[in-house]
Amino acid sequence: MRRFFPAGGTTFPGLVSVLLLAAAPRAAAGQPAREATGPPAYSIVLVGGTVVDGTGREGVVADVAISGGRIAAIGDLSNAAAAFRVDVTGLVVSPGFIDIHSHADGDDALTSPIGRRPMAENYLRQGVTSVFGGQDGSSTLDVGAFLAAFDALPAAVNVGLFAGHGSVRASVMGEDDRAPTRDEMDGMRRLVRRAMRDGAFGLSSGLEYTPGAFARTDELVALAAETAPWNGLYISHVREEGGALLESVDEVIAVAREAGVAAQLTHHKIIGKHRWGGTKASLERAAAARDEGLDVTIDVYPYTASSTNLTILFPNWSKDGGFEALRARLSDPATRARIRADVIAHIHAERGGDPSTIVASRCGFDASLSGLSLADMALSRGLEPTVGNAADVALDLVERGSCQGVFHSMSEEDVQRVLQDEASMVASDGGIPAFGQDAPHPRSYGTFARVLARYVRDLGVLTLADAVRRMSGAPAARLGLEDRGVLRVGAVADVTVFDPASVQDHATFADPHRYATGVVHVFVGGTWALRDGEPTGIRAGRALRKAR
């Protein structure tokens, strides 16, 4: 256990109640560093750690002082008085990690995952201090109300939002496959402008999902342009991550060019074993756009499986009008046969023709199905695990309400290539699961620790300094967070302290509800959120808003 102790028994005005709750030392935890003759200069000093500041510079051994919720000093602070001094010798002191693509949010603040589980323990144990929701085109329509709820009753981490194009579209024109009228286009523009005024960080799209899939590029350009006065970011789940990946990347680049905004290819990947290696070409497209002067970046999670709803297997035409319209189509034998044929074609083309790679993670109508693949379910029905039988199982599951799924269809080489790209940063694409329930993707519990353990320490794919930059300084810069993401004097004291030799993800696809270890301390706004590897129970996060 790392030591922390009061200097000379002094207190720090205005912070004493928080410090006593978050960091009250045990009787034998240590001893005073020195006698203090007056009020301490700092509330907390982290002593003797290796400071990796989030800029990509290599780490240096230095002390870090926190005062008033901000970084007050970095350097040799051996003679400085502090209310508490924390021995972090041998540990890394870095900015708190920023998850630029999170599903911690929902339509309503109180019923969202972070509203129901505000301690966000799976994130804190990875060193994450800020999460950004509203992804893949899905968000609350009232960004202002959502953020205000976390002003009033904070979570343990900071929370920011994007405006979701799909949610905006559905609210104005339903889930129909058609172009908007002029009045509908104006209505969508107004909703995006309102979201930006209320603090959204940009516009997200989920073009592989309906109703986003029904939008043409000109619609996306017009709505993304509404974020330009705020320097908003257009962050997109592209139309296709398989056979039409390059055309889909080109569309995001076109939106950036024509709307005059920055753009991000989110959770970038290529699916389908016969296409593995295709990220080389897609990354070259993004690099060419940057050479053209466009601002196009990337994020990635460090796993070879994705997670989304089982309806991703179904053709877009079958989802015209929404989920209930899809279920109604399944009741017509001729239409069901057409849908089945398209699902079979999808499993062959996008999932390598292997039903065992498609696994249910949560089926609201039957919890016993969690963790079973379509092949498993076919076998349980006395059927051979063929693609055709798997398609029949999928149709039945969707007819019963559908399931969230995990899809094993990516290559390790592509993951590493995207992770190493000069414009790439790390994001989880995860959320805050109910601990022990269902079989969620392990990325919610392991993403950031996995990068440090597997891709830095074990494989050497990234240097430690570069990995920290991709998890802190890079997403902060991408979002315009000028006072977070980098350890410098004056910055908000969102700070993570971890052991580079032992930090480790433990969540697996077979056993996903396992917390990461090796993150020792986390400070959110200068307040101890994780101490000696355990949550303090203090919720010091803030609602984050995009500044104009």
Q: What is the pLDDT of residues 128-147, one digit of tens each?
A: 999 999 999 999 999 999 99
> Residue 515: what pLDDT?
98
> Residue 547: what pLDDT?
87
Residue 500 lies in a domain: no
Number of domains in the chain: 1
> Residue 179: what pLDDT?
97
For 354, the 3-state DSSP assignment is: coil
The mean pLDDT of 529-533, rounded to a whole number, is: 97
In which domain, by residue range, is 398 found?
A: 308-408
Residue 154 has pLDDT above 80, yes or no: yes
Q: Is the distance from CB of 343 to CB of 395 less than 8 angstroms?
A: yes
Residue 373 lies in a domain: yes
Contacts of residue 157, defined as CB under 8 A and 6 or more positions apart, other chains included, come to 114, 120, 123, 124, 128, 129, 130, 131, 524, 529, 541
In the numeric block, which tokens belong to residue 181?
């009228």
Per cent of the chain over pLDDT 90 is 90
Residue 317 lies in a domain: yes
Residue 200 lies in a domain: no
Q: What is the pLDDT of residues 308-334, one digit of tens each?
A: 999 999 999 999 999 999 999 999 999
Residue 381 lies in a domain: yes
Smallest Cα–Cα separation from 147: which of 539, 543, 481?
Answer: 543
> Residue 40: what pLDDT?
81
Residue 26 has pLDDT above 80, yes or no: no
pTM of the model: 0.91
> Residue 426: what pLDDT?
98
> Residue 548: what pLDDT?
78
Lowest-pLDDT range, 56-65, 137-146, 345-354, 515-524? Answer: 345-354
For 25, the 3-state DSSP assignment is: coil
CB atoms within 10 A of CB 317: 15
Confidence of residue 37 (pLDDT cuts 50, 70, 90): very low
Residue 24 has pLDDT above 80, yes or no: no
> Residue 38: what pLDDT?
56
Residue 33 has pLDDT above 70, yes or no: no
More confident residue, 127 or 273: 127
> Residue 7: what pLDDT?
38
> Residue 41: what pLDDT?
87
> Residue 16: what pLDDT?
30
> Residue 139: what pLDDT?
97
What CA–CA distance (Å, rounded) separates 389 from 374? 9
> Residue 12: what pLDDT?
28
Task: Output the average pLDDT for the chain.
Answer: 92
Contacts of residue 11, defined as CB under 8 A and 6 or more positions apart, other chains included, come to 19, 83
What CA–CA distance (Å, rounded) separates 211 from 220? 12
Smallest Cα–Cα separation from 537: which of 97, 114, 155?
Answer: 155
Residue 369 lies in a domain: yes
> Residue 352: what pLDDT?
86
In the numeric block, which tokens belong to residue 38?
């007056």
Lowest-pLDDT range, 20-34, 94-108, 271-285, 325-339? Answer: 20-34
> Residue 262: what pLDDT?
98
**Alpha-carbon distance values, 460 to 273, 313, 419 (Å):** 25, 36, 12
The mean pLDDT of 538-548, rounded to a whole number, is: 95
**Alpha-carbon distance values, 467 to 112, 157, 398, 489 (Å):** 30, 21, 40, 22
The DSSP-derived string for 57-108 is: PPPEEEEEEEETTEEEEEE--TT--EEEEEE-TTSEEEEPEEESS-----SS
Residue 4 has pLDDT above 70, yes or no: no
Q: Is 461 left (phi over 0), alpha (psi -120 to 50) or beta?
A: alpha
Contacts of residue 120, defined as CB under 8 A and 6 or more positions apart, other chains included, come to 104, 114, 128, 131, 155, 156, 157, 432
What CA–CA distance (Å, rounded) separates 339 from 397? 14
- Name the DSSP class of 255: H
Residue 249 lies in a domain: no
- Name the DSSP class of 258: H
Q: Rg of the chain over CA atoms, in angstroms? A: 24
Lowest-pLDDT range, 287-291, 359-363, 450-454? Answer: 359-363
Residue 365 lies in a domain: yes
> Residue 497: what pLDDT?
98
Q: What is the pLDDT of residues 474-515, one digit of tens each?
A: 999 999 999 999 999 999 999 999 999 999 999 999 999 999
> Residue 369: what pLDDT?
94
- Exposure letters 5-25 (e unless 16+ CB within 10 A, then b): bbbeebebeebeebbeebbee
